[in-house]
């Protein structure tokens, strides 16, 4: 039975209803602490599989495609902060301001915990 959504209930059977993403930032070493970045953060994002497929992925891809020719860009905070690699486009202050504003709004609006 296909629902009005992009995937059917049958397609998600056998899979968890939720998806969890884990990421870390900073240095987990307690022996040599970086004075410029003395943090270690472990973050988890939990989202319903259907919401991830039907809402989050398309909106993130739309955001990425408004800045790059493909959606394969990984949004790494360090690269964004330092305007490195594909984020060198953020060396332009107006573009950086617009990018950060749009990304912040997107993160506030997306349905995840």
**pLDDT at residue 4, as a whole number:** 46
Task: Please report how the helices 93-109 and 57-65 are oriented relative to each other, as an axis angle in degrees rounded to 10.
Answer: 170
Q: What angle do CA 39, 42, 45 make, to 5 degrees?
A: 140
Q: What is the pLDDT of residues 45-96, one digit of tens each?
A: 999 999 999 999 999 999 999 999 999 999 998 899 999 999 999 999 999 9
Q: What is the pLDDT of residues 25-51, one digit of tens each?
A: 877 777 887 787 788 889 999 999 999
Question: Is the pLDDT confidence value at 11 over 60?
Answer: no
Q: Please name the residues in contact with 21: beta carbons below 8 A apart, sequence gap of 6 or more.
A: 44, 45, 47
pTM score of the predicted model = 0.75
The rounded distance, in Å, linking the Cα atoms of 26 and 38 is 7
């Amino acid at each position: 039975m296909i629902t009005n959504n992009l995937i059917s209930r049958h397609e998600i059977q056998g899979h968890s209803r939720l998806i969890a993403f884990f990421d870390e930032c900073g240095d987990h070493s307690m022996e040599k602490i970086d004075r410029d970045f003395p943090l270690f953060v472990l973050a988890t994002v939990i989202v319903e599989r259907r919401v991830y497929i039907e809402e989050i992925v398309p909106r993130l891809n739309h955001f990425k495609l408004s800045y790059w020719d493909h959606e394969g860009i990984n949004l790494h905070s360090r690269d964004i902060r330092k305007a490195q690699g594909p984020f060198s486009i953020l060396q332009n202050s107006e573009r950086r301001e617009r990018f950060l504003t749009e990304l912040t709004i997107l993160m506030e609006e997306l349905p995840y915990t």
